[in-house]
Amino acid sequence: MTLSATPPPRPAWVEIDRAQFRRNLELIHADKPPGVKVLSVVKDNAFGHGAVELSRIALETGVVHLAVVTLAEALELRGAGITAPILLLGNRQLEELPWCVEHDLSCAVQDEENILALARIATRANRRAAVHLKVNTGMNRFGRHWLEATSLAELIHQQPSLELAGVMSHFAMSDESDKTFANLQIERFREVQTALEARGIRPRYYHLCNSGGLLDLPHAHFDLVRVGLLPLGVFPSKVCRRIAGIAPVMAVKTRLAAVQDIGVGDTVGYGLRYKAESPRRIGVLPVGYGDGFPRIRNQGHVLVRGHRAPLVGTVAMDAFMVDITDVPGAKIWDEVVLQGRQGDEEITAHDLAAWKGSVSYDILTSWRERLPRVYLPG
């Protein structure tokens, strides 16, 4: 018996449209004012899309900076030969700092201890370490209170082995119609900027905007915008401004792995949660919550032959069922779309989020490694 070099892939996968990702970033570059630079947030494996793959494309389009959250994420990019500036969001434990200096990773800093430790480590290594001062303007997650940030910037400024590459903050609500709190945060951030200018301290970048801010808060663009979701073709909310042509990069697909014809009173799946009121044809999909599909029941739909097929019963770990009675010609191994387009129909990350009771960010990042990634040319 002769087998091919690799076993056949399972009939369920995540498709990443590299050309669409490139197009989305080009549209973002064309949309923003020319002076504003773009940082790509590729944390959590670029929201499940593949951080190395997408970072390379982003840098080709003119993105000047990358950002991730964990040291391992940053080291993966460096290991792949990516030399662009990388910002580590969040906060660092002391023992991570030598690694950051060694691999030229810029830390977001918010306290004296990490600033002085970074300065010492960089001095010993005969390097200059870039840091971004994180200012807490009301999110109350990471960062130093805006009234205390100026003295911290001065401390950084006094260290010859440190470069104040950025002063940054983060919006708690940028993509809703009510911009009251966002504008308050902008005002607090501007206070820091004014105080630093008075002291002659000039970071390379002031940056505050995420995708929502880029779209809806042009007065807060400053020098750089940090975008994660939007380049993936997903708008952060229903109400934020649209950029025409931006479309989803990710699609999730599978195939009908079995078909069952059931009669009146028959039930489907665990817990007998669906009971047929008329004869039904049931399609079985070999994907479940173990792949990151939300554990919903009798809610939502998939696309089969361009038709919406409603989900019946409860999603199991490795499978769930849909009603294909009204899909003409549906048969075993037909392609099924769980997220993305088929014919004239589309299921968006926002649709899945509504069924799950969550947000699009959560849907994109939930698809597990168990689903192989298929990269379309780009």
Residues recognised as catalytic: 43, 270
> Any idea what DSSP says for residue 51?
H
Helix ranges restricted to H, 108-172: 112-124, 149-157
Q: Is residue 210 near ligand PLP by the rule CB under 6 A?
A: yes
Using CB under 6 A as the binding rule, whether residue 229 contacts ligand PLP is answered as: yes
Beta strand 129-136 pairing with 162-168:
parallel
Q: Should residue 283 be labelled a site residue for ligand PLP when binding is judged by CB under 6 A?
A: no
Instruction: Pick the piece of the chain touching ligand PLP (CB under 6 A) from 8-16, 220-228, 288-296, 318-326.
Output: 220-228
By the rule CB under 6 A, 287 interacts with ligand PLP: no
In the complex, least distance from residue 141 CB atom to ligand PLP, rounded to whole angstroms: 8
Q: Which residue of this chain has its Cβ atom nearest to ligand PLP in the complex?
A: 228
- End-to-end, the C-alpha distance of the chain in Å comes to 37
**Residues between 61 and 100 that touch ligand PLP (CB under 6 A):** 89
Residues 104, 46, 250, CA angle at the centre, nearest 5°?
Answer: 155
Contact between 262 and ligand PLP by CB under 6 A: the answer reads no
Number of residues that bind ligand PLP (CB under 6 A): 13
67/312 with CB nearer ligand PLP: 67
d(CA 126, CA 159): 13
Does 226 bind ligand PLP (CB under 6 A)? Our answer is yes
d(C-alpha 168, C-alpha 129), whole Å: 17
Dihedral (Cα; 142, 146, 152, 157), 10-degree rounding: 110
d(CA 62, CA 136): 29
Task: Quote the tokens at residue 11.
Answer: 């009939």
Judged by beta carbon, residue 13 or residue 21, the one nearer ligand PLP is: 21
Return the SS3 of 42. Answer: coil
Nearer Cβ to ligand PLP (67/97): 67
Q: How far is the CB of 361 from ligand PLP (least distance, A)?
A: 7
Contact 268, 321 (CB under 8 A): yes
What is the token pair recorded at 302? 């998939």
- Residues 134 and 156: their CA atoms lie apart, in Å, by 12
Query: Given candidates 228, 233, 288, 292, which one binds ligand PLP under the rule CB under 6 A?
Result: 228
Query: Residue 351's closest CA among 282, 309, 299?
Result: 299
Positions 150 through 179 that interact with ligand PLP (CB under 6 A): 170
Kindly tell me which of 40 and 193 has the beta carbon lying closer to ligand PLP.
Answer: 40
Nearer to ligand PLP, 41 or 330 (CB): 41
CB of 57 to ligand PLP, least distance (A): 17
Which residue in 50, 236, 248, 292 binds ligand PLP (CB under 6 A)?
A: 236
Closest CA to 166 of 141, 199, 143, 140: 143
Of 56, 54, 96, nearest in space to 75 by CA: 96
Least gap, CB of 101 to ligand PLP (angstroms): 21
Output 299 or 365, the one with its CB closest to ligand PLP. Answer: 365
Nearest approach, Cβ of residue 289 and ligand PLP (Å): 24
- Which C-beta is closer to ligand PLP: that of 165 or that of 230? 230
Q: Which residues contact 135 (CB under 8 A, 6 or more apart)?
A: 143, 144, 145, 146, 149, 167, 168, 169, 188, 189, 192
CB of 89 to ligand PLP, least distance (A): 5
What count of other Cβ atoms lies within 10 Å of the Cβ of residue 160? 10
Among the residue ranges 28-36, 204-212, 264-272, 298-306, the one whose residues contact ligand PLP (CB under 6 A): 204-212
Distance CA(133)–CA(58), nearest Å, equals 24
CB of 41 to ligand PLP, least distance (A): 4
> Interface with ligand PLP includes 38 (CB under 6 A)?
no
| Footprint on residues 117-146 left by ligand PLP (CB under 6 A) | none
Q: Which residues bind ligand PLP (CB under 6 A)?
A: 41, 43, 89, 170, 210-212, 226-230, 236
